[in-house]
Amino acid sequence: MNWLKVLLQRLEDNRDAPYERELLAGVLRILGEYAFETHRRRAHTARREFLRLSEDAAAGRYGELTPFLREQRRDEQQFVQGQLNDLRDLTWNLLDALSRMAQQEAQDDATLHHQVRQMSLQVQQPESLDVQSLRQTLQTLTELITERERRHQQILRHLESQVNHLMRELEQARRESTTDPLTGLYNRRAFEECLNHTIGLNRLFGYPATMLLIDIDHFKQVNDTYGHAVGDTVLKAVAEQIVRVCKRKSDFAARYGGEEFAVIMRETTLREAQRIAQQLAAQVRQHSISVADAEPLRITVSIGVSELGDYESAEEWFRRTDTLLYQAKQAGRNRVAA
């Protein structure tokens, strides 16, 4: 929170500090974008609060900012600690069950060893062999083995339930760490992992791969004119069109950052990717977005498309595609450069 104190102090010293106000508003938008659920607020509720405070900060109103951030930060810390404690408890339960099973096994083994020894002694002395006693020993052995089998099945079912629960928790955490909370697409981290995997597959098998970088035209103007809530609606609408057009199982779509999206298309040539990019641009152009108390909003996107070159690194491929995106925007936007 030290950065906030410093920034608020500068704003207090100079109420007409547009750079600091815009910086604070931008930071709040980013914090809201990646807010997660706590015991007090759902993720989308926290996001709305951050966006409201962002708009207040842009207008020079800071009164609610510090109390909210302190409360949200404390709640997030408690939430994370609670999740870690849950995982720790599950792990301990697994270890405890295994330990108890091992102890019981040792006791059973000692009993079985004793019973087998008794039978061995009786068999070695046939003149004093007591058939009734031998039958009782065999029955005891059978009961011990049956009980061990029943207990094994019970413990294994319990362990399976615990492991499945733990795996669901871990899978949910993994999904949350690789998913953009606003659009539901993958996030930048997941995109960079997919980028490296795609290059690895290309070098192993020679499969073609193409990349689309998509940028919403004049997005800042949308935010400035209609507010960030409408801006979020625009981002979600573009994400929906990307999912509709890039719908093959091998297509990987992500929100790379801000108003920029990225799609990696494996086993796809440049010609095929150009066709898909043109289709996507047309879909976005034709789609209207409802805005309260205003005419429906129409937006466009600029797209850069490139095919992975021989021995090209992830950074080189991305930079080359980004250059094509820049060319599309410089040429007038609402177009594809490949």
- Name the residues annotated as catalytic: 259
Beta bridge partners of 263: 212, 253
Closest CA to 338 of 284, 278, 261: 278
Contacts of the segment 193-202: beta carbons below 8 A, 24+ positions apart: 194/252, 194/254, 194/264, 195/264, 195/314, 195/317, 195/318, 196/314, 198/252, 198/264, 198/266, 198/308, 199/308, 199/312, 199/313, 199/314, 199/317, 201/266, 202/308
Q: How many CB atoms lie within 10 A of CB 214?
A: 29
Cβ-Cβ contacts under 8 Å for 100 (sequence gap 6 or more): 155
Separation CA 234–CA 152 (nearest Å): 56
Q: 274 with 258: CB under 8 angstroms?
A: no
